Structure 1
């Protein structure tokens, strides 16, 4: 299986979060949104030119900024 940042995933791809890079503030912000290591995540869509990235975590849809999305490392699931 391949580990990539959330930014590198294509819309519709799913995986499991294996790491959240960055400092304490970045990890805390992600965790406050339900984004934690071990959680399943699905990329719904991405905007052109570093715009927000839409993901689904459980039954919740979340828009993430490009910067924090770069710090979320996901182990992609095979289709």
Structure 2
């Protein structure tokens, strides 16, 4: 079983998502400054994001609607997500 199958139905840090993953943001684990910054970029609890580029080092490029968002490993580690379709 691969790591994507291991995480089925579970939440995990965005930094662990692979290319092509379709996700829903569940939580933002950081202080007020982090919450404000990430929200201003267009990432918020409940939003749907698709991983365009997910690097082994945790750097990410996401599609949120028509917006593209680039995050480093530290920020991606603080965003908790769940695969779309696991809401059942």
* Alignment match, 1:17: 25
Once the two structures are superposed, residues 5-52 of structure 1 have per-residue CA deviations (whole angstroms, 9 ceiling, x without a partner) of: 1111111001110100011111111000010000001111133535x3
Q: Which has the larger radius of gyration?
A: 2
* Alignment match, 1:29: 37
* Alignment match, 1:40: 48
Aligned mates of 1:74, 1:29 — CA distance in 2: 18
Aligned mates of 2:60, 2:82 — CA distance in 1: 17
Answer yes or no: is 1:8 the counterpart of 2:16.
yes
Count of matched residue positions in the alignment of Structure 1 and Structure 2 = 78
* Alignment match, 1:68: 75
Query: Which one is further off, 40-49 or 62-71?
Result: 40-49
Q: Which runs of 5+ in 1 are unaligned?
A: none
* Alignment match, 1:77: 84
Detail structure 1 runs of 4+ shifted over 4 Å in the superposition: none
Please give the TM-score of this superposition, normalised by the length of structure 2. 0.79
Q: Which runs of 5+ in 2 are unaligned?
A: 1-8
RMSD: 1.6
Aligned mates of 1:13, 1:53 — CA distance in 2: 11
